[in-house]
Amino acid sequence: MKTNFKYLILSAFVLILATACGPNLRSPGNFFLRQKAPNLQAFKDALKKLKPELKQKGFLAYSLHRDLGDRQTYILTLKCVDLRQGEEFLRSPAFREPLGAAGVGEPALWSGLDVRARTYENQPSMTGGIVIAANCVKDYPFWQKCFDAEGGHHHADRGYVPSHYSIHHLPGKPDWALVVHEASDVRKAPAFMTSPAMKGVMESTGVVQIEIWYGVNLEQGIF
């Protein structure tokens, strides 16, 4: 499957706009942002200052990860009680301007309603990494049935230990399914996730397009 990053982001953005007025997005979900940040400490300081407003807007927790392939790019995940309200805030000047002042670039943004919620705890220092796969699927119920049938997702040739799976669904035409898991050694994840065997599994479950982010764990916490 050939990926097209710009098409995926544009499709997700259009989908959010098209469904933003629907009641189905007024539910808990998760956001995933990927952005340039030449100064990590400035980025973290800006997030700390935004904490009160994030809490007010219904955000519950966060995690921060350094992109596996670019040491000046970071992945931020945010758990929220209301996906629609959270989306509005993350695209507002109230969120973007403080980060921009800290040198943080405009983020690529993915989101989805919680199907299997991502768990968070206060961990100021972490090991391991994170794998975030955004799947464009033909038929979400069919994809979900196939995913659940795999059970514990124990693949002998993975090369690392996966844990803490979560699933997030952005409904629409097409549907998007975001699958997130922790990786004991994230450096080994790209080879497995893009292997012919995994591509075959994805195609058989109706995945027509996929983009994957890999990050080295830095920290996570509860707001």
Q: Are 208 and 47 in contact (CB under 8 A)?
A: no
Residue with tokens 């405009």, as numbered in its chain: 106
pLDDT of residue 4: 46
pLDDT digits (tens, 9 = 90+) for 140-199: 999 999 998 876 566 667 889 999 999 999 998 889 999 999 999 999 999 999 999 888
pLDDT of residue 157: 76
Structure tokens at 128: 């391991």
> Does the domain made of 5-222 have the CATH classification 2.20.28.270?
no
Q: Return d(Cα 9, Cα 32) in angstroms, integer.
A: 12
Q: In sequence order, what are the residues at sequence separation of 6 or more whose Cβ sits closer than 8 angstroms to the Cβ of residue 169?
A: 112, 113, 115, 140, 144, 175, 176, 177, 178
Q: Return d(Cα 180, Cα 139) in angstroms, integer.
A: 19
Q: Are 180 and 130 in contact (CB under 8 A)?
A: yes
pLDDT digits (tens, 9 = 90+) for 99-157: 999 999 999 999 999 999 999 999 999 999 999 999 999 999 999 999 988 765 666 67
pLDDT of residue 12: 47
State the amino acid at position 22 in one-letter form.
Answer: G
Q: Return d(Cα 39, Cα 104) in angstroms, integer.
A: 8
Q: Return d(Cα 18, Cα 28) in angstroms, integer.
A: 19
pLDDT of residue 154: 63
Please provide the size of the chain in residues. Answer: 223
Q: Return d(Cα 104, Cα 74) in angstroms, integer.
A: 10
pLDDT of residue 153: 62
Pairing state of beta strands 175-183 and 129-137? antiparallel
pLDDT of residue 13: 45
pLDDT of residue 82: 96
Q: Return d(Cα 105, Cα 89) in angstroms, integer.
A: 17
Q: What is the mean pLDDT of residues 26-39?
A: 96
pLDDT digits (tens, 9 = 90+) for 78-98: 999 999 999 999 999 999 999
